[in-house]
Amino acid sequence: MPSVAVIGASNASSKFGYKAVAAYRRQGWTVYPVNPHETTIAGLPAFASIGDIPGPVDRASLYVPPEVGVGLLPGIKAKAVGELFVNPGAESDALVAEAERLGLEPILACSIIDIGETPR
């Protein structure tokens, strides 16, 4: 079963960070919500950072403002995720440049659509 770290996950059902958690769960993924201000999200334990997640992570999906995301890239690199999705609104030229500098290959696309769901 593949795993995903939803970085910027939220308990607010109107936010895409929540919608991503729900969509990945429906599709059978192991979901790790990442939010330093929450202890649980959608009934799952939340992690303060991607580095706090035990074991490997196949995919990271960013749902944070680009200026926040840039600072999270070293942790994503250290976790050695297989894929990094930078969702609409989380991208910037600076974030993409830093991700590439770190050897990450950012995928600029909606990760919810990538797993066959429609963000609603």
Q: Which amino acid is at 48?
A: A
Assess if residue 53 is contained within a domain.
yes
Assess if residue 87 is contained within a domain.
yes
Assess if residue 119 is contained within a domain.
no
Rounded CA-CA distance 111/107 in Å is 9
Residue 106: which CATH number? 3.40.50.720
Which CA distances in Å does 25 have to 1, 4, 80? 11, 10, 22
Assess if residue 74 is contained within a domain.
yes
Assess if residue 120 is contained within a domain.
no
5-61 per-position pLDDT tens digit:
999 999 999 999 999 999 999 999 999 999 999 999 999 999 999 999 999 999 999
Task: Indicate the pairing of strand 44-45 with strand 40-41.
Answer: antiparallel
Q: What is the pTM of this model?
A: 0.96
Assess if residue 21 is contained within a domain.
yes
Rounded CA-CA distance 25/29 in Å is 5
